[in-house]
Amino acid sequence: MPEPAQRLSPARLPSQRFATTENAITDRELARSLAMETAAKIDQIESEMARDFLRPRSPAGNTPARGTGEVAATGELSTTVVDGDTVGEEFLGSVDAIEIHTSGAGSVIDESAILFANGQMAEAEQVLRAGIAADDLGHATQNAWLMLFELLNQRGDRAAFEQLAAQYAVRFQTSAPAWIDYSCEPARAPAAPAVGAPPGVRLPVNVDATVVKTLEQLKTLAASHAALTLDASAVRRVDLVGAELLLRVVTAFKRASHELTIAGAQQLLNPLRALIEPGRRDASDAAWMLLLELLRLLGRQAEFEETAIQYCITFEVSPPQWEPPPPNIKLAESTPRHPAVAREAEPEAAADDSTLIWRGVIEGEGEPWLGRLALQARSSKRLTVDALQLRRMAFSTASSLLTLLMRLQQSGVMVEFRNVNPLLGALFHLLGITAVAGVQLRRP
């Protein structure tokens, strides 16, 4: 495979930031310490924003009235009715909402939310059951029961769920929450390549500088095979360096006699869209050029031309012209996956483009979910995220979501999360997400 010309010098490459993994925290105090450190970072970010912007006053000069059943600074989620819609307390200061309690009812709610977010379901259940048994949670009592219902639901313990439902009906004189059928299943290992398929490589979840080793394997295979496969079905994030490296590969194959089959090419679109911004001239145009190449391969001419115009305005150059894809580069379906897994891996859009559907478990840096949200915010000032099938979000991911939501709020974009489960809702309240976005809990 011929060596393409270098587009970026090492001095111009941006510093690398690798995806983080969720550490298994066995000590409850360490989990709380992690939460407090993260909260401190968030508080530092918020301190840079004008407090009046985050906490506007009502016409009477008072803090907006709380909705029915909400509790201030207890770890319970609260709501506010605005123009007939139930939304989170986005008009209340996030400095108060971000407080982490160390005693009382708030401690049980906050601690169990943190433990669950970190994947420690057994520890979270232990905290909730102990708090409920002590019967000193006050106004947070029912919220703790609802969180325990959700935890039992998510670990599939139907018998324990029904037993708790009977106790709940006696205690609160009302019917218990309904069992939720989470259709998303855990990700499965990819199926083996079909017999006779061209040899190739599979790109990792995060395409950054580390992908060079994978691409070197592809180059080695090119020395002994005329046809190769590049599988992008697992990709969820691409940075500028990763886009540069992938673009070099595509460009090299366009000039070579080898045949390249790209599987799961569509998986690269959202990460690349999240990487570019019209009007912002980055150190390299690689992300733009790679996106245009993929749109050409996918046959999306209208989208190609629109992106080309944005590229032209951003870099003040002539827009790339549409042309048929090279005959030696082809597309193939990504590695077969269970339909439920496919739904979990890719954010869905509802009938109107302002609504996104989030499913399953979101971890790491939150891609492609956060990237899709940022992309939709460019064309709509009011967005809705349906979280009915969203089971869990990692603590660090939720922190990244808060940062994005604060930025969107500054630009005038309102985001509302609907059908949020009680465990996730408690985490959102703890981090202050309810201060910058609407949060509507799922009805029991």
Residues 311 and 388 in one domain: no
Q: Are strands 85-88 and 79-82 parallel, antiparallel or unpaired?
A: antiparallel
Domain count, the chain: 2
**% pLDDT > 90, the chain:** 38
| 373 burial via Cβ count (<10 Å: 0-12, 13-18, 19+) | buried
Mean pLDDT score across all residues of the chain: 75
Residues 179 and 225 in one domain: no
Residue 393: CATH number of its domain: 3.30.750.24
Q: What contacts 24+ positions apart, CB below 8 Å, involve 418-421?
A: 418/384, 418/385, 418/386, 418/387, 418/388, 419/386, 419/387, 419/388, 420/387, 420/390, 421/150, 421/180, 421/387, 421/390, 421/391
| 374 burial via Cβ count (<10 Å: 0-12, 13-18, 19+) | middle
The encoded tokens of residue 144 equal: 């703790």
Residues 267 and 132 in one domain: no
For 163-224, list the strands marked E by DSSP.
200-202, 206-207
Residues 30 and 179 in one domain: yes
Q: How much is the pLDDT for 135?
A: 85
Residues 120 and 154 in one domain: yes
Residues 149 and 289 in one domain: no
Does 17 map to a domain? no
Residues 116 and 210 in one domain: no
Q: What is the pLDDT of residues 138-159, one digit of tens each?
A: 888 999 999 999 999 998 898 9
200: β partners: 229
Q: How confident is the model at residue 178 (pLDDT cuts 50, 70, 90)?
A: confident
Q: What is the pLDDT of residues 78-91, one digit of tens each?
A: 333 333 343 333 32
Is the Cβ–Cβ distance between 233 and 280 less than 8 Å?
Answer: no
Instruction: Give the residue, 340 or 160, on which the prediction is more confident.
Output: 160
Q: How much is the pLDDT for 37?
A: 62
Q: How confident is the model at residue 399 (pLDDT cuts 50, 70, 90)?
A: very high
The encoded tokens of residue 298 equal: 């996918």
**Residue 48: domain span:** 24-188+338-444
Residue 316: CATH number of its domain: 3.30.750
CA distances (Å), origin 40, targets 98, 103, 110, 200, 390: 9, 19, 15, 45, 27
The encoded tokens of residue 320 equal: 């790339």
What lies within 8 Å, CB to CB, of 260 at 6+ separation is: 227, 228, 229, 230, 250, 253, 328, 329, 330
Does 320 map to a domain? yes
Tell me which of 285, 300, 332 is where a domain ends.
332
Does 291 map to a domain? yes
DSSP 60-109: TSSPPPPPTT--TTSS---EEEETTEEEE-TTS-HHHHTPPP-SHHHHHH
Residues 271 and 233 in one domain: yes
Is the Cβ–Cβ distance between 230 and 218 less than 8 Å?
Answer: yes
Q: How confident is the model at residue 198 (pLDDT cuts 50, 70, 90)?
A: confident
Q: How much is the pLDDT for 31?
A: 56
112-130 mean pLDDT:
92
Does 1 map to a domain? no
Does 413 map to a domain? yes
Q: How confident is the model at residue 241 (pLDDT cuts 50, 70, 90)?
A: very high
384: β partners: 355, 416
Query: In whole angstroms, what is the distance from residue 117 CA to residue 394 CA?
Result: 5
Query: In whole angstroms, what is the distance from residue 178 CA to residue 251 CA?
Result: 54
Does 442 map to a domain? yes
Residues 282 and 353 in one domain: no
Residues 182 and 57 in one domain: yes
Tell me which of 285, 311, 332 is where a domain ends.
332
345-373 mean pLDDT:
75
Instruction: Give the residue, 23 or 205, on which the prediction is more confident.
Output: 205
What lies within 8 Å, CB to CB, of 43 at 6+ separation is: 95, 98
Q: How much is the pLDDT for 35?
A: 59
Instruction: Give the residue, 27 or 49, on which the prediction is more confident.
Output: 27
Q: How much is the pLDDT for 355?
A: 78
Does 74 map to a domain? yes
Residues 312 and 372 in one domain: no
Q: Are strands 438-441 and 85-88 parallel, antiparallel or unpaired?
A: unpaired
Q: Are strands 355-362 and 414-420 parallel, antiparallel or unpaired?
A: unpaired
Q: How big, in percent rounded to 5, are the helix, strand and coil portions of the chain? A: 45, 15, 40
CA distances (Å), origin 342, targets 37, 211, 334, 339, 347: 35, 24, 10, 5, 10
Residues 234 and 211 in one domain: yes
Q: What is the pLDDT of residues 261-308, one digit of tens each?
A: 999 898 899 999 999 999 999 989 999 999 999 999 998 898 899 999
Instruction: Give the residue, 55 or 266, on which the prediction is more confident.
Output: 266
Does 13 map to a domain? no
Tell me which of 307, 332, 357 is where a domain ends.
332
The encoded tokens of residue 284 equal: 């390299």
